[in-house]
Amino acid sequence: MIVNWPERLWVNSPVRRYVQQLEGRFFKNMDKLAPGGTCLEIGCGCGVGARIINESFAPAAIHALDIDVAMLEAAKKRQKRAAWKNIPLQLLTADAQELPYPNQCFDAVFNYGIIHHLENWQKGVAEIARVLKDGGIFFFEEIYPPLYANPLFIRMLDHPRENRFHGPDFRAALAAAGLQLQEGYKESRFAILGAAVKGRVQ
């Protein structure tokens, strides 16, 4: 589900950019990803995540997708800036519930807060696991209903109302998809920040 104008204002704000940078640092400290890998960012919005991924992990390729054409246009505009010249970024309009990639083709998948926008979020998690190579890493920041569906935000923001998930549901879906949650993740009743590895048991 695409974001409405109040959320668009938030995701395109300098504060969101700053938060995303802090999360990028957390991901970098959380798990090792060798330079030269191939990365995917789902729900890339206006594209800020790609630069953070590039700076943190020096991948050979970053694929970033979003279902919202307007968001992708903003990302394409940003990509023309001089500072983005050397970022090996390919932008694509696509649905994170039906990833247009073959099995096991990515070293890492990044989710900066988009899975709660999916009607079938379990399919989204399964798709991430499908496109990750064995040993590939899923880095995620995800939020739960007490944050985005509290009495204030439920009036302001558009999110699917059915089939919602909290921490235990999200962690169970990772395990069901064969993604092992790595130690060091941070979770509250509002959100989770962490990494999970395909097939690796700690």
Which residue type does 13 have?
Answer: S
Q: What is the Cα–Cα distance from 170 to 147, expressed in whole angstroms?
A: 15
Binding part of the chain for ligand SAM, among 77-85, 93-101, 164-172, 181-189 by CB under 6 A, reads: 93-101
Q: Based on the shown chain and the rule CB under 6 A, indicate whether residue 159 belongs to the binding site for ligand SAM.
A: no
Question: Least Å distance between CB 115 and ligand SAM?
Answer: 9
Sheet strands (E) in 37-120: 38-42, 61-66, 89-93, 106-112
Q: Which of residues 99-128 bind ligand SAM (CB under 6 A)?
A: 112-114, 117-118
Compose the 15-44 pattern: x for residues touching ligand SAM by CB under 6 A, - for all others. Answer: -x---x---------------------xxx
- Roughly how many angstroms between the first and final C-alpha of the chain, as a whole number? 35
Binding part of the chain for ligand SAM, among 61-69, 80-88, 101-109, 168-176 by CB under 6 A, reads: 61-69
Q: Based on the shown chain and the rule CB under 6 A, indicate whether residue 62 belongs to the binding site for ligand SAM.
A: no
In sequence order, the 6+-apart residues with CB closer than 8 A to the CB of 158 are 1, 2, 3, 4, 7
Q: How far is CA 19 from CA 25, 55, 113, 153, in A?
A: 10, 15, 12, 19
Per CB under 6 A, residues contacting ligand SAM are: 1-3, 7, 11, 16, 20, 42-45, 49, 66-68, 71, 95-97, 112-114, 117-118
